[in-house]
Amino acid sequence: MRRVTLRKTLVVCGVLSIVLMVVGLVALSIGSERVPLIDAFRPGALTPTQRSILFDIRLPRILLAATVGASLAAAGASYQALLRNALAEPYLLGISNGAAVGTMIALVFIGANEWGRPLMAFAGAVAASLVVYRLAGGRAGASPERLILAGVIVTTFQSSVIVFITTLMDATRIRSFTFWLLGDLSQASSSSIGIAVVATLTGVILLTFNARPLNLLMLGERDAFDLGVEVGRVRLQVFMAASLLVGVSVALSGSVGYVGLVVPHLVRMATSGDNRLTIPASALAGASFVVLADTVARTIIAPRELPVGAITALIGAPLFIYLLKRR
């Protein structure tokens, strides 16, 4: 494994940015209605319907998919570093579910406030992260058994809260909720995109700027402390940034699972375990991954749609089993 340098990081991130743009353009042109992309650049070539499909429906959805992917992958990479376990993932740890509980509480008790849902989702994610960290943490890092058990306990507890809240809803909303819980990007709107982009950039940048101390935390909190890391401050910042990323993605798109597991794993395998590279590269690769997964989700049985979470789980669950067996 070669040492990571700034130059290498910039090259990898540059390549991944180009990949993301290509994936985005492909996703823009694919759908139940074929719109030749070249027409989008020729004035007057698009019919009003085509323009509406491209810019009001597909583009917001692709942007939301990209921010959700970037958020979940970067959050996954940092949870893994903080808990010293490659199996840590927001969905499996119950953190996404915590954000889901927060979102539902906001929906039922606060109403349709643009900021209410993301804020409550953030609060839910913070609460769930703290519980998981307390339950799973140990001096030698979280063992896979403890981590998974902590995730299961947190998830089942929250599931019962979710069921409880669902019973308070009317029947027509329940179906769209079940869909949303599995990860659903069809609700993308230009107003939600603004919140998503700002939260994603803030979170990913904050995590990236904690990457070097995170490298040391991966080797143990005590070691990091000895080497001059202010463990408490770094841990707090990372938890807050990761919870912001998870919270906002869940509020806007539900719980898309396994992105935080699959993407950082592939990035580490292809490059290095150095978080200064892994975190920004995971964000970019995660964006492409979810845009691709969502394109599959909305086209494979068109005109019907699958929740994007079903596609990511289809890829992620086997990888999780492989990682668990390999240990």
Partner 1 sequence: MLEARNISVKYGAREAVTNVSLEVVPGMMTAIVGANGAGKSSLLRVLNGTIEPSTGQILLDGSPLSSFARRTLGRRIAVVTQEALLAFPVSVLEYVLGGRYAWSTSGGWGWESERDLEIAFNVLRQTELEDFSDRLMNELSGGERQRAVLARALATEARILLLDEPTANLDLAHQTSMLQLVRKHCDQRKTAAVIVTHDINLTAEFADNVILLKSGRTIASGPPRDVLTEELLSEVLDIKVLVDAHPLSGAPRITPAYELRRQIGADTAP
Q: Which residues of 266-296 are buried (b: 16+ CB within 10 A; e: fewer)?
A: bbbeebbbbbbbbbbbbbbbbbbbbbbbbbb
- 3 belongs to the binding site for partner 1 (CB under 8 A): yes
Contact flag: residue 210 with partner 1 (CB under 8 A): yes
**Closest to partner 1 by CB, 133 or 225:** 225
Question: What is the nearest approach in angstroms of partner 1 to the Cβ of residue 205?
Answer: 9
Q: Which is nearer to partner 1, 159 or 271 (CB)?
A: 271
Rounded to 10 deg, the angle between the 59-83 and 275-299 helix axes is 140
225 binds partner 1 (CB under 8 A): yes
Of the CA atoms within 13 Å of residue 140, those in its CB half-sphere come to: 3
Q: Name residues whose C-beta falls within 8 Å of residue 137's C-beta, 6 or more positions apart in sequence.
A: 83
Q: In terms of CB distance, is 140 or 168 closer to partner 1?
A: 140
| Helix or strand run (H / E) with residue 46 | none
Task: Build a one-symbol-per-residue string for 133-152: x at contacts with partner 1 by CB under 8 A, - elsewhere.
Answer: ------xxx-----------
- Nearest residue to 158 via CA among 186, 187, 132, 185: 132
Q: Is the CB of 2 or the CB of 42 nearer to partner 1?
A: 2
Position among 229, 252, 263, 293 found at the interface with partner 1 (CB under 8 A): 229
Q: How far is CA 198 from CA 192, 194, 289, 312, 319, in A?
A: 10, 6, 20, 24, 31
Max Cα distance, the chain (Å): 64
Closest CA to 100 of 49, 159, 156: 159
Among 16, 28, 68, 86, binds partner 1 (CB under 8 A): 86
Based on the shown chain and the rule CB under 8 A, indicate whether residue 227 belongs to the binding site for partner 1: yes
**Cβ distance to partner 1 smaller for residue 245 or 256:** 245
Binding segment toward partner 1, per CB under 8 A, in 20-28, 49-57, 167-175, 218-226: 218-226
Q: Name which position in 85, 129, 155, 253 contacts partner 1 (CB under 8 A).
A: 85
With respect to partner 1, which residue has the nearer C-beta, 6 or 171?
Answer: 6
Q: Tell me: does residue 327 bind partner 1 (CB under 8 A).
A: no
Part in contact with partner 1 (CB under 8 A); list of ranges 3-11, 17-25, 125-133, 246-254: 3-11
DSSP state of 108: I
* # binding residues, partner 1 (CB under 8 A): 37
- Alpha-carbon gap, residue 232 to 226, rounded angstroms: 13
Answer yes or no: are the C-beta atoms of 78 and 241 closer than 8 Å: yes
Q: Is 25 in the site for partner 1 (CB under 8 A)?
A: no
Binding site for partner 1 (CB under 8 A): 1-3, 5-6, 81, 84-86, 139-141, 208-213, 215-216, 218-220, 222-223, 225-231, 234, 268, 273-274, 276
